[in-house]
Amino acid sequence: MGKNLIQQARGKGGPNYRARSFAYAGDARHPRLSQELQMGVITDFVKCPGHLAPLAEVKYPSGMVLVQAAEGLKVGDIVTAGPGGEVKEGNTLPLKDIPDGTLIFNVESRQGDGGRFCRTTGTYARVITKTDAGIVVMLPSKRQRTFAPNCRALIGIVAGSGRTEKPFLKAGKMHHHRRNRNKRWPNPSGAAQNAVDHPFGNKRTSRKGKNKVQSPHAPPGRKVGKIGARRTGRKS
């Protein structure tokens, strides 16, 4: 009897396929929505394994908030959050108050969700223009997306841009790096596994001539490789 495939085991949600809760110092997001301008002070910087970017602890009158740190910030700097703030690194403003061409990060998808776009180290988005439909922002992928005017974003570039320049050097470091973010590593191909672990696996041959197209109605343990089309032929 064969074992479960990786996608089957992941669906059960075992400990090997869950991100470790203690790898996260907290939820990195914008402060709570407020119609008034809030002023806060950076008290510390946190590096937790679950987040790629360093986090800044900002003390607002409403409480402590963790946000992605912007390049150039230091402990003791004053930052603001809310409408009417100054356009400078580390401040949180609605997109409607940010001039065209400004570099931003941690952009909200919907007002109040805390930030969904452009959160990893060294990345930034750019405000392109303002239209009747909303604010047009160019994301790091060069794709342009329209956001609601009240969606918030942080000014600047996410800190830690040199993270990818340092090699891992050891397999163990890569293992822990991926494990903290719920990524299984290494991920061997199906042909390199044993026959008990994968439909494509055995020790005798790589089975290069085997048809790898599976029926869309195949059971989960056999649905690997390419999935067959729903229909073929020209539409009438």
Q: What is the pLDDT of residue 54?
A: 94
Helix/strand/coil percentages in the chain, nearest 5: 15, 25, 65
- Per CATH, domain 21-159 is 2.30.30.30: yes
Q: What is the pLDDT of residue 196?
A: 83
Does the predicted TM-score (pTM) go above 0.85? Answer: no
DSSP strand pairing (213-214 vs 226-227): parallel
Distances (CA, A) of 28 to 44, 72, 147: 14, 19, 21
CATH class of 170-227: few secondary structures
Q: Do domains 21-159 and 170-227 have the same CATH topology?
A: no
Q: What is the pLDDT of residue 164?
A: 87
Per domain, the residue ranges of the chain are 21-159, 170-227
Q: What is the pLDDT of residue 69?
A: 96
Can you list the positions of beta strands (E) in the chain?
Answer: 38-46, 55-60, 63-68, 78-81, 92-94, 103-105, 125-130, 135-138, 144-147, 152-155, 213-214, 226-227
Which distant-in-sequence residues (6+ apart) come within 8 Å of 183 by Cβ? Answer: none
Collapse the DSSP code of 7 into the 3-class scheme (helix H, G, I; strand E, B; otherwise coil) and give the result: helix
Collapse the DSSP code of 17 into the 3-class scheme (helix H, G, I; strand E, B; otherwise coil) and give the result: helix
Q: What is the pLDDT of residue 98?
A: 96
Q: What is the pLDDT of residue 70?
A: 96
Mean pLDDT by 10 residues, the chain (236 residues): 79 84 92 92 93 94 93 95 94 96 97 95 96 95 96 96 92 92 86 84 71 87 88 82
CA atoms of 190 and 203, how far apart (whole Å): 12
